[in-house]
A and B are shown apart, each in its own frame.
Chain A
Amino acid sequence: GNSVTQMEGPVTLSEEAFLTINCTYTATGYPSLFWYVQYPGEGLQLLLKATKADDKGSNKGFEATYRKETTSFHLEKGSVQVSDSAVYFCARENDYKLSFGAGTTVTVRA
């Protein structure tokens, strides 16, 4: 099926550390790819997206590049802050709907 696999958490980091969250998708066609973020006690909100191969989405210091050859869309941030503590979800377009990964909980310690 049209699925998304992302690295399991939880991930715990110190402030200013480098963050990578791996995400791969099943390669049926060329779906648009998304990262959503869920801060504690809130609903999800779009962090960034990429709609075609080699596109790079970026927002709030986060980046992810659509890699067709490896069917991946890994999320990266060079220097995390305590305020980045959240659950991050990778998602792919699926017939005009979204299919989500399981989510990765990230905790950043001061």
Chain B
Amino acid sequence: NAGVTQTPKFRVLKTGQSMTLLCAQDMNHEYMYWYRQDPGMGLRLIHYSVGEGTTAKGEVPDGYNVSRLKKQNFLLGLESAAPSQTSVYFCASSYVPAPYNEQFFGPGTRLTVL
């Protein structure tokens, strides 16, 4: 099992460019999450999904869109990148939600927006 994988690992964008971050899991998990990690602020939930074809907003959804067309994949899109979106992005998945099971995290994507 590869667990949770994220593509790409690093990316540099210019303001206004768009990109998609891909998260894939091979554990047949129903729940998937996108977080951003910023210094001094811990992890903040951007969007999440409770199953294939569903998405929901988290704590900081503005400027991001997501899609869950296949159970194993959860895509995070930035339509028009801004410097404030410079961050490390983590994807996570779980079979059932907290508190009943742990979330498994990917290795992260470091995004810089110039």
Contact = CB atoms under 8 A, between A and B. Distances in A.
Contacts of A93: 98-99
B95 to A, nearest CB: 13
Interface of A: 4, 31-32, 34, 41-46, 49, 51, 89, 93-94, 96-98, 100-103
A42 B99 contact: no
Given A43-B105, A93-B98, A98-B45, 15 more contacts: A4-B42, A34-B102, A41-B107, A43-B108, A44-B90, A44-B92, A44-B105, A45-B104, A46-B102, A97-B98, A98-B98, A98-B103, A102-B41, A102-B42, A103-B42
Q: Is the interface of A mostly helix, strand, loop or mixed?
A: strand
Contacts, number: 52
A32 B99 contact: yes
Given A97-B58, A100-B42, A101-B42, A43 B99 contact: no
Interface string B45-78: 1001000000000100000000000000000000
Most buried by B among A34, A44, A49, A94: A44
Interface in B69-114: 90, 92, 97-99, 102-108
A51 B92 CA distance: 21
Interface residues of B, number: 22
Contacts of A31: 99
A47 to B, nearest CB: 10
Contacts of A101: 42
Nearest to A96: B97
Instruction: Enumerate the 3 nearest inter-chain pairs by beta-carbon distance, A residue then B residue, closest first.
Output: A32-B99, A43-B105, A96-B97
A43 to B, nearest CB: 3
